[in-house]
Amino acid sequence: MKVLYTAHATADGGRDGSVKSSDGMIDIKLNKPKALGGNEAPGTTNPEQLFASGYSACFAGAVAFVAGQKKIALQGVFVTAHVDIGLLEAGGLGLGAQLDVCLPGLDRATAELLVNEAHGVCPYSKATRNNIEVQLRVID
């Protein structure tokens, strides 16, 4: 891989600590979700929310990229990522994701085509492929 950009972030204290990016743009406190024994203190987030944020933004970019290649005009791209953490049957914890994609003004067939092709080019989708279950859903 020819590296084009590298993000740097440092976590201190794990799920009940903090995370900071090297450029200072991210400097946030972390707290476990209540379901994992945390108290969801105001002003905190968790790794699953951060992953959902990154995946939804990246996937929206991938949809726009595919649409541009196909000369399909978009009136907006809205992606909501739902990231689950849960117990695996084999033991330990695992992740799952669902991407809800809304492409206003497009017919369902065109929207589904763009979403499926975006899943093939999105770096987050490539990274998760065959590692976690990812469900794609076109919504109105």
Could you read off the pLDDT of 67-117 as tens digits, one per residue? 999 999 999 999 999 999 999 999 999 999 999 999 999 999 999 999 999
pLDDT higher than 90, residue 40: no
pLDDT higher than 90, residue 47: yes
pLDDT higher than 90, residue 29: yes
Report domain extents, the chain. 9-45, 47-139
Contact between residue 55 and residue 81 where contact means Cβ atoms under 8 Å apart: yes
113 to each of 77, 105, 118, 123, how far by Cα in Å? 14, 14, 8, 18
Residues 13-24 have pLDDT tens digits of 999 999 999 999
Q: Once rounded to an integer, what is the mean pLDDT over residues 55-65?
A: 98
Alpha helix positions (H), the chain: 47-69, 108-121, 123-128
d(C-alpha 67, C-alpha 111), whole Å: 9
The pLDDT-based confidence of 120 (bands split at 50, 70, 90) is: very high
Q: What is the CATH number of domain 9-45?
A: 2.20.25.10
Confidence (pTM)? 0.94
Q: Are strands 93-102 and 133-139 parallel, antiparallel or unpaired?
A: parallel
Per CATH, 9-45 and 47-139 having the same topology is answered: no
* Residues sharing a CB contact under 8 Å with residue 51, sequence separation 6 or more, in sequence order: 81, 83, 95
Q: Class for domain 47-139, per CATH?
A: alpha beta
